[in-house]
């Protein structure tokens, strides 16, 4: 059996960087990701960010904060630029 990697033309793959960021606040990493996306260009390697975060609700563009059943929750609500309503992460 041949090694499938041996048959791949490695020159056709873009560089990829992987970062293990540990446990960080969702809003902190969300803003860093937005900044990275805004300033990257065709020479910027793709990145995978491995991150864990404490519980958070995200409020998408179509979201209505009145849909949050308990407004006094200790879990933060972060407004994001994706579609959707309220999502628990």
For the cut 70, the answer to whether the pLDDT of residue 1 exceeds it is no
Cα dist. 59→63, 78, 82 in Å? 5, 6, 9
The reported pLDDT for the residue numbered 50 is 97
Q: Domain residues of the chain, as ranges?
A: 15-54, 55-89
Among the ranges given (4-18, 23-37, 49-63, 72-86), the one the predictor scored with the smallest mean pLDDT: 4-18
78 falls in which pLDDT band (50, 70, 90)?
confident
Per-residue pLDDT averaged across 50-68, rounded? 86
Q: Which of 76, 30, 89, 24 is nearest to 52 (CA)?
A: 24
pLDDT value, residue 41? 94
Mean residue pLDDT across the chain: 86
The answer on pLDDT for 26 being more than 80 is yes
Long-range Cβ contact pairs of 27-33 (< 8 A, separation 24 or more): 27/56, 27/76, 27/78, 29/53, 30/78, 30/80
């Amino acid at each position: 059996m041949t090694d499938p990697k041996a048959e791949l033309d490695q020159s056709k793959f873009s560089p990829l960087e992987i970062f293990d960021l540990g446990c960080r606040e969702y809003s902190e990493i969300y803003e860093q990701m937005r900044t990275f996306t805004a300033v990257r260009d065709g020479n910027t390697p793709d990145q995978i960010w491995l991150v864990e975060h404490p519980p958070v609700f995200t409020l998408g563009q179509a979201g209505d904060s009145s849909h949050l059943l308990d407004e006094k929750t200790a879990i933060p609500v972060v407004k994001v630029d994706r579609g959707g309503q309220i999502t628990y992460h």
